[in-house]
Amino acid sequence: MKNIAASITISAIAATGVEAQEERRRIAPAAVYDVAPGLGHFTDEVLFGEVWERKELAPRDRSLVTVSAIVSTGKTAQIAAHVGAALDNGLKPAEIGELITQLAFYSGWPNAISAVEETKKVFDARQIGAVGNSEDARMELEATAEAARKAIVDTTVAPTAAVLSDLTNRVLFGDLWRRPDLSARDRSLVTMSALIAIGQPEQLPFHANRAMDNGLTAAETSEVLSHIAFYAGWPRAMSAVPVLKHVFEKRKE
């Protein structure tokens, strides 16, 4: 957490100055305490003092969830600070780039393009050069699950929107999801976080199952909910609860 505190305080929020050295470290900048002292309290005591400290989800995962929530909801002003924290928490530059690519499809190009611009500033400041495509082999999708997915799209989407169906099969699942630049588990976690954050739980069961099929535990999935509540608001997290409840129950059967 030292790293998160440091990168958020220093790189993104100028001049917290003395406050940062106080007996209890403040991450919330002075302006928060000046304008909304309650928000300062909850930021330092609960969000950074408690939630980010919980061991049930690794700091790298918390950064993945946080950046996904912020990018997918278009909160441009907060991207640089959290991309900095994500690098400190172990996300590789190429993984951050690929997270943004994934979210172009799952939350729209404008969010992704704005995220690129903010991320470029962080990369430049840290002298991180151009990121290359991974040279690893393309990832294989699990054949049965992929066939089932395709059948659903062909049946439910194609008759109404043939081009959308084709792009889904050929570009998303034929290309994007097979790119080796982000692991299958991380890619699903990014997608799941975005769907919760943008309030689109309809497609959540598919991606939550995919995340858990690829190694995310149920305990981690549940922890994602309490983390994301702070970055996308309680209502979005609460609306995802019954959806994930159903997913958990189905997987136990």
- Interaction with its own copies in 178-207: which residues (CB under 8 A)? 179, 181, 195, 197-200, 202-203
Taking phi over 0 as left and psi of -120 to 50 as alpha, with beta for the rest, 136 belongs to beta
CB atoms within 10 A of CB 35: 9
112-131 residues in contact with its own copies (CB under 8 A) are 112-114, 116-117, 119-120, 123, 129-131
Please say whether the beta carbons of 225 and 104 come within 8 A: no
- How many angstroms separate the CA atoms of 228 and 67, rounded? 10
- Residue 134 or 214 having the CB closest to its own copies: 134
Contacting its own copies (CB under 8 A), which of 6, 25, 146, 248?
A: 248
Q: Does 236 bind its own copies (CB under 8 A)?
A: yes
Min dist CB 43 to its own copies, Å, is: 7
Residues of this chain, 152-171, that bind its own copies according to CB under 8 A: 156-157, 159-164, 167-168, 171
Each residue 135-154 as x (binds its own copies by CB under 8 A) or -, in order, gives: --------------------
**Contact status: 132 vs its own copies (CB under 8 A):** yes
Residue 173 sits in the site that holds its own copies (CB under 8 A): no
Q: Which is nearer to its own copies, 210 or 236 (CB)?
A: 236
- Considering only residues 54 to 83 of the shown chain, the ones binding its own copies according to CB under 8 A are 54, 56, 69-70, 72-78
How far, CA to CA in Å, does 237 sit from each of 82, 219, 222, 243? 20, 15, 10, 10
Site for its own copies in 1-30 (CB under 8 A): none
Q: How far is the CB of 246 from its own copies (least distance, A)?
A: 9
Among residues 14, 147, 148, 238, which is the contact residue for its own copies, using CB under 8 A?
238
Contact 140, 147 (CB under 8 A): no
CB 85 within 8 A of CB 4: yes
CB 8 to its own copies: min, Å: 10
Binding its own copies (rule: CB under 8 A), the pick from 3, 183, 209, 222 is 222
Tell me the torsion sign for CA atoms 202, 82, 134, 107: positive
The whole-angstrom separation of Cα 110 and Cα 204 is: 22
Kindly state the tokens that stand for 26.
């403040």
The 10 Å Cβ neighbour count of residue 216 is: 20
Q: Given the rule CB under 8 A, which of 14-22, 45-53, 84-92, 139-147 is the region that contacts its own copies?
A: 45-53
Query: Could you tell me the smallest distance in angstroms from the CB atom of residue 22 to its own copies?
Result: 15
Structure tokens at 8: 């958020």
Question: What's the number of CA atoms in the CB half-sphere (13 Å) around residue 221?
Answer: 25
CB 83, CB 96: distance < 8 Å? yes
